[in-house]
Amino acid sequence: MVDMPETANARVNLPELSVSELSLALKRTIEDAYGYVRVRGELGNVKYHSSGHIYLDLKDDKACLAGIVWRNAAPRIKVKLEAGLEVVVTGRITTFPGQSKYQIVIETLEPAGLGALMALVEERKKKLAAEGLFDAARKKPLPYLPEVIGIVTSATGAVIRDILHRLADRFPRHVLLWPVAVQGEGSAHQIAAAIRGFNALPKKTISEQGALRRPDLLIVARGGGSLEDLWSFNEEIVVRAAAESMIPLISAIGHETDVTLIDFAADRRAPTPTAAAEMAVPVRADLLAEVDSLARRSLVGWRRAQDTRRTELRAAARALPGADDLLALARQRFDHATARLTLQTLNTRIVREREQLTRLAQRSRHCLRVYVERRRDRYTALAQRLTSARVAYANAQRAQLIRTHERVLATRDRARVAIGVLLQQSVARLERAGRLLSAVSYRAVLDRGFALVRDLDGRPLREASAIGPGLAMEIEFTDGRVRAWAEGGPTAVAFAAGGSSTRSGELNRAPANPTPANPTPAKPRRRTRNPDSGQGSLFEP
């Protein structure tokens, strides 16, 4: 295909744009053409940035649109954004020149109908159920009469007042409230943190002072609302916290028809917060009546048992023989034994017992003497060992002190030698530095026959072009300084000395009229260089 001449000329005459100018033009064109749009699509690649912004993709089966939710608009989103959730967003179409792409800045986002949310809930329910979080074997029985009840709900709503009122009517108990947000951004993390916080409290009795104790029962409650309002209780972090709780937990979310995922993970589900309070404690009046009834029944049974035992005792007493009959044979045997027992028999028995006691005493004294001698020998041996150990320890300490003293003396000698070597090295370095200073000093140059020319301010004059007629100068030789004044131009400079040589640095004043009487400058006389001399004049150009 051959371009027409007009088309080729038009292309040649196109204005030249920079990349930034073209990107800005495209940005204005897209924003002016679309402005605010409403888009429906499926979320993909959702990323919560640390700055608070949310980056995501909106896609369908044919296209993908990049989206961003700024930090100030993120709190208005009620549901947690996840990949696969179908949503409807409203925002402005714009471009991002840094990556040559267009995107939508989202201001509002809502699920695409209840069907999408219900599908997400069902999918999450199947996932958690497969992990065993909803198994009946994991559920714990509720305590019959808890001493402390922990409540996780909003501190300003009507739910906490209903629960406290119902508990006061049925059976007043000690209540711990953990206030949380029950809907909106961050509410799921607050609820999960409250459940785990109650489980982290120490186990203590109610009488112990200075610290909170772990509740015996937890109630997670919220009033009614839409599915979006109750969405925090469908979050995975809340369900897992409820399943991990070691404290029995009652979920009381919404009304009778409201069902959330925490209801399946809790140990008991209550249709309303008031019903949760009724499950938590029994009716105190009913308990008192039941206890009174049991007490009366127990008293009646005890009296009946006592009457029965009394009747049986009387019947047994009539069948038993009398006391005289029971003791008659024993009295007779005692009388016969007393008749056989004589005084001589008693004396013989006493003598025999005394002899046996004497033998036992002698054996005891012998055993005691042997025991004391063994102990004395043992203590003597221990004293000798202790004395030997003390002498050995003293000798070891004395030897150690001698070795330490020798090491100190050796260290002192080495230190003296090291200090002497260091001083010699320092003196040598100082001498080398002095020789180097003398070598690089300008006075060595003056000693070789050169002179140093300065102006009266002390600045050195290195070039003849810097010297003008009548300029006062100071010339330094190896044996002193002389003040001089220049005569003539820079091409041929003559000097008029103004003072004698001096070593003290004191200079004579300049002549009153340093310039010649004739205003016409005399032709400078060129000095001839002595061919035999080894150095030139410092005053010749």
Residues of the chain with confidence (pLDDT) below 50: 1-3, 492-493, 500-541
Helix, strand or coil, per DSSP, at residue 394: helix
State how far the Cα of 385 lies from the Cα of 379, in Å rounded to an integer. Answer: 10
State how far the Cα of 484 lies from the Cα of 336, in Å rounded to an integer. Answer: 167
Q: What is the predicted pLDDT for the residue at 114?
A: 55
Ordered strands of the 174-179 beta sheet: 174-179, 148-153, 217-222, 249-253, 268-269
Q: Are 492 and 526 in contact (CB under 8 A)?
A: yes
Record: fold of 17-112:
OB fold (Dihydrolipoamide Acetyltransferase, E2P) (2.40.50)
What letter does residue 107 receive in the DSSP assignment? E
Q: Three-class SS string for 287-329?
A: HHHHHHHHHHHHHHHHHHHHHHHHHHHHHHHHHCCCHHHHHHH
Q: Are 143 and 216 in contact (CB under 8 A)?
A: yes
For residue 539, what are its two tokens? 């005053």
pTM of the shown model: 0.43
Helix, strand or coil, per DSSP, at residue 28: helix
List where CATH 2.40.50.140 sits in the chain: 17-112
Terminal C-alpha separation, the chain? 80
Point out which residues pair with 526 in neighbouring strands: none
Per-residue pLDDT reduced to its tens digit, 129-178: 889 888 988 899 999 999 999 999 998 888 999 999 999 999 999 999 99
Q: Phi/psi zone of residue 134: left (φ > 0), alpha (ψ -120 to 50 degrees), beta?
A: alpha
Q: List, in sequence order, the alpha helices (H) in 131-272.
A: 158-170, 187-200, 236-244, 261-265
What letter does residue 480 receive in the DSSP assignment? -
Q: Are 483 and 508 in contact (CB under 8 A)?
A: yes
List where CATH 3.40.50.261 sits in the chain: 145-282
Contacts of 380 (CB under 8 A, 6+ apart): none
Cβ-count burial of 70 within 10 angstroms (0-12 exposed, 13-18 middle, 19+ buried)? middle
Q: Are 56 and 74 in contact (CB under 8 A)?
A: no
Q: Are 148 and 206 in contact (CB under 8 A)?
A: yes
Tell me how far apart the 2 most distant CA atoms of the chain are, in Å. Answer: 184
Ordered strands of the 494-497 beta sheet: 452-455, 472-476, 481-487, 494-497
Residue 295 sits at φ, ψ, to 5 deg, of -65, -45
Q: Three-class SS string for 341-395?
A: CCHHHHHHHHHHHHHHHHHHHHHHHHHHHHHHHHHHHHHHHHHHHHHHHHHHHHH
State how far the Cα of 229 lies from the Cα of 154, in Å rounded to an integer. Answer: 14
As its CATH architecture, domain 145-282 has: 3-Layer(aba) Sandwich (3.40)
